[in-house]
Amino acid sequence: MKSIEIYKKKAAEKACEFIQDGMIIGMGSGSTTFYALEKIGELIRSGQLKNIAGIPSSLNTAKLAGKFGIPLTDFKNHSQIDLTLDGADEVDQYLNMIKGGGGAHLREKIVFQASKSNIVIVDKSKMSQKLGSKRPVPVEILPFAMEVESQFLESIGAKISLRKVPDGNPYITDQQNFIFDADFGIIEKPEEMDSLLNSRAGIMAHGLFVRMASEVIVAGEEGIEIYSLTT
């Protein structure tokens, strides 16, 4: 296993220590979350975790939960989540994040907003001083609004590219929308960009998660560090 995968696994397993019996768990998407789901499944099978149910943020996560034996529920049965575990593509010094590399940021944001606590798990390579240093912002677009929203994103300084699958067709989200990866460069004021993107009717969701992480667990060569909004 490559070192970066080892760090992801360590961070994910540390995050699982926050789970308690009887919790409703929000389950993110992506490679780091895979390790968390794997560990949760182990804890359930060994009897160390009981009466756990998860709300998945993507169809793929739902499949993984089934593979690892994690019972599923939904918002019809539980309108509030106790704890959400998820990864991120970039995290700044204030714990603002860019998410959506896997295309699930709309459901992920819904899960985050419904959760009492959100624990984000990353390897140290995902940390930066300011957002936009490493990753563009995924922007989920209603197909009907593709042309007008592409013009809007370019008008506010973004270099955009339509996300595609290997055969060259547009990537389609679980909600049947498109994704523009919008490169704004360094984002000096994430709160203002968040509000600006939220104001557009044709933008279904974007990958800026501003002050939504309760804790960020970071794994690297020096071990594990935990950051919170209070530190």
Q: Quick one: 197 and 95 in the same domain?
A: no
pLDDT value of position 135: 96
Q: Quick one: 8 and 87 in the same domain?
A: yes
**Locate tokens 């009897």: which residue?**
47
> 134 exposed, middle or buried (CB, 10 Å; 0-12, 13-18, 19+)?
middle
In one-letter notation, the amino acid at residue 145 is A
Is residue 140 within 8 A of residue 105, CB to CB? The reply is yes
Give the three-class secondary structure for 119.
Answer: strand
In one-letter notation, the amino acid at residue 21 is D
pLDDT by residue for the chain (231 residues), tens only, comes to 678 899 999 999 999 999 999 999 999 998 889 999 999 999 999 999 999 999 999 999 999 999 999 999 999 999 999 999 999 999 999 999 999 999 999 999 999 999 999 999 999 999 999 999 999 999 999 999 999 999 999 999 999 999 999 999 999 999 999 999 999 999 999 999 999 999 999 999 999 999 999 999 999 988 999 999 765
pLDDT value of position 231: 53
* Active-site option among 13, 17, 42, 108: 108
Number of domain units in the chain: 2
d(CA 73, CA 97): 27
Is 108 marked active-site? yes
Report the run of H or E that residue 225 belongs to, with start and end: strand 223-228
Domain that holds residue 54: 3-126+210-221
pLDDT value of position 69: 97
* Cβ burial 78-98 (10 Å sphere, 16+ → b, else e): eeebbbbbbbbbbbbebbbbb
- For the domain that residue 75 is a member of, what is the CATH number? 3.40.50.1360
Which two structure tokens, joined as six digits, stand for 114? 């419904």
pLDDT value of position 230: 66
Q: Quick one: 99 and 160 in the same domain?
A: no
Q: Has residue 174 been placed in a domain?
A: yes
* Cβ burial 161-178 (10 Å sphere, 16+ → b, else e): eebeeeeeeeeebeeebb
Q: Has residue 58 been placed in a domain?
A: yes
- In this prediction the pTM is 0.94
State the DSSP code for 132. Answer: T
